[in-house]
Amino acid sequence: MLRVEGLTVHYGKIRALERVTIEVGRGEVVAVIGRNGAGKTTLLKAVMGLVRPTTGKIMFMGRDITGLPPWVRAEMGIGYVPEGRRLFPYLTVMENLLMGAYVVRSREDVERGLQTVFQLFPILRERRNQLARTLSGGEGEMLAIARGLMSNAKLLLMDEPSLGLAPIVVKEVFKVIKRLKERGVTILLVEQNARKALEVADRCYVLETGRVVFHSDAKSAMEHPMVKKAYLGIE
C-alpha cells in the first residue's frame, strides 16, 4: 500500500531523514521505533505531505504522491493522528469528528463513518455534545484516532498515541489499535513505547539519527540484542 524510497528531509541545514526506505503492506501494522529526535515524526509528516522531501519518492497504492498536497492525500485515503492529539478544544466531539470528514463528499459515507467510530469508541457517542477540551487524556486520544478514521482512511498514520497517558489508558489505546488491525485498517505506527508497539505490529523499522538501522518482523525484533538493550530495557 505504501512505499517510501530513499527519502531525505532537511529542516534548513539540519538533515532529519537520510535515504529512508520503508514499505507497508495492505492490512499490516508497521511500527517505527527510535529515540527522540530520530526522525520518526518527520517520516509521518513527509508521508502526509506536511514537510517537503529533499530527495526520494513516496508511493501510495501504486501512485507517486511525492508532490501532492496533504488534502489530496487525505482524499486518497491517508488519515493522520498527530502527536499530542491536536484536537479543536472549543469544538464538540461531534464537530471534531466532522472536521475529520471534510474530504468526504457523500453524506452517506459520513454517516457510515460516524457509525463505525461510535462502534469502536462507544464513549464518544456518549460525549458527542461535549467540548473536546473537557475530555480525559484517553478519551482525547480516542477522539483523535476516530477523527483520523473519518476520512475513510485506508492507511492510518499514528504518531505517539500513548504519549502522556497513564499506563492503564495506554493498554486501552493499544486494544483499540488491535481492533483496527482486526478490521483490516493498515497502520504506520510511530511509538516511543517500543514493547507495546512491537506487541501489535507485524513488522518494525528502527530509526537512528534519521536512518533506518534495522528492520524485521516484530517477533524477531523483540528477540534482537540491539532492540532488547536499547528499546526494551533488557540486557
Give the domain CATH number at 214. Answer: 3.40.50.300
**CA-based R_g, the chain, Å:** 17
User: pLDDT digit string (tens) for 131-172?
Assistant: 989 988 888 888 888 888 887 788 999 998 887 778 888 888
Q: How many domains does the chain have?
A: 1
d(CA 65, CA 72): 9
Contact 214, 185 (CB under 8 A): no
Residue 15 lies in a domain: no
Strand 155-159 relative to strand 78-81, pairing: parallel
Let me know if residue 91 belongs to a domain: yes
Tell me if 40 is assigned to some domain. Answer: yes
Strands 2-11 and 14-24, how do they pair? antiparallel
Grid coordinates representing 203? 513488522
Cβ neighbours for 44, distance < 8 A, ≥ 6 positions apart = 80, 157, 159, 188, 190
CA–CA gap between residue 123 and residue 142 (Å, rounded): 9
Q: Establish if 99 belongs to a structural domain.
A: yes
pTM score: 0.87
Residue 139 structural domain: 26-53+65-231
Residues 18-67: pLDDT tens digits?
999 999 999 999 999 988 888 999 999 999 999 999 999 999 999 999 99
pLDDT at 103 over 60: yes
Confirm whether 12 is domain-assigned.
no
Return the bridge partners of 203, or none: 30, 217
Any domain includes 18: no
